[in-house]
Amino acid sequence: MTRKMPIIITGGGQRLGLACAKALVAQGYEVIITYRREREDIAILEGQGISCIQADFSSISGVDEFIARIQGRYSALGGIIHNASEWESEEDCLDTALLMEKMWQVHVFAPYRINLAFEALLCAGSEQDGQADIIHMTDYVAEKGSDKHIAYAASKAGLANLTCSFAKRFAPRIKVNAIAPSLLMFNSGDDTEYRNKALNKSLLRKEPGEQEGVLAIQYILDSRYMTGRTLSLDGGRHLV
């Protein structure tokens, strides 16, 4: 199978990022993932041909160290999927200033800095493979807001805006799009009451699973004429 240009998936060690990494490797892509904490299955992923890089995007130095590693190893990239994320509410936080700083650092500064740093690599990938992609994983709350996760929602809205700005900057060589999911999958510790409440927020009332996100990513990668847009994966939640 012919290997395609390398694709980076930040936060690729679990859930949607992990599912996407496995799917893209199966399709012939060279995949690089970042992970923040050590996991037992990292060695398994590396055995499957996935390059795994430990990186912490909650600090400027962590972002810059990751950038340096990629620039020292690769001459071209086919895409970046910004999936790394933090989830914390004002209710659970003792210092809201630090909370906003962390959310903005991970969801806005890191993608901003990485996109600019890898512009030349993405352009090289576009020349070799016909196109290159950036995908920002935003959130349903970026449009609606959230009274319980204010800093999180604000930072995801910032990431959504970066989609439009980078689409303008990088066109026509690099496509830049976003995916805004609401519920894709529950966590193992979510109780029945929470699950029912969450399901009733959408028209389709289902937990679609990680594959729904994988299909959306694949659609964007396959598209030749889509940039600066957001795919909403919300089961009709905006109509409830």
DSSP code at position 224? S
The pTM assigned to this predicted structure is 0.95
The predicted structure's pLDDT at residue 4: 84
Q: Which residues are catalytic?
A: 152
Contacts of 199 (CB under 8 A, 6+ apart): 183, 205, 206, 207
CA–CA distance, 152 with 87 (Å, rounded to integer)? 7
Count of CB atoms within 10 A of residue 229's CB? 15
Q: What is the per-residue pLDDT across 1-53, written as a single tens digit (0 to 9) for each?
A: 455 899 999 999 999 999 999 999 999 999 999 999 888 889 889 999 999 99
The predicted structure's pLDDT at residue 2: 54
The predicted structure's pLDDT at residue 1: 46
Average pLDDT of 76-87?
Answer: 97
**Dihedral, 90, 93, 96, 102 alpha carbons, nearest 10:** -100
Q: Which CATH number fits domain 4-232: 3.40.50.720, 3.40.50.10470, 1.10.8.100, 3.60.20.40?
A: 3.40.50.720
Q: Is the per-residue pLDDT at 85 higher than 80?
A: yes
Average pLDDT of 191-200?
Answer: 91
Average pLDDT of 158-169?
Answer: 98
Only one residue has tokens 């396959």, namely 222
CA–CA distance, 153 with 46 (Å, rounded to integer)? 33
The predicted structure's pLDDT at residue 3: 57
Q: What is the per-residue pLDDT across 164-188, written as a single tens digit (0 to 9) for each?
A: 999 999 999 999 999 999 989 998 8
- CB–CB of 103/147 below 8 Å? no
The average confidence (pLDDT) of the chain is 95
- Displacement of CA 25 from its chain's centroid (Å): 17
Count of CB atoms within 10 A of residue 152's CB? 25
Can you read off the two tokens belonging to residue 204? 């389709």
Q: Is the per-residue pLDDT at 240 higher than 90?
A: no
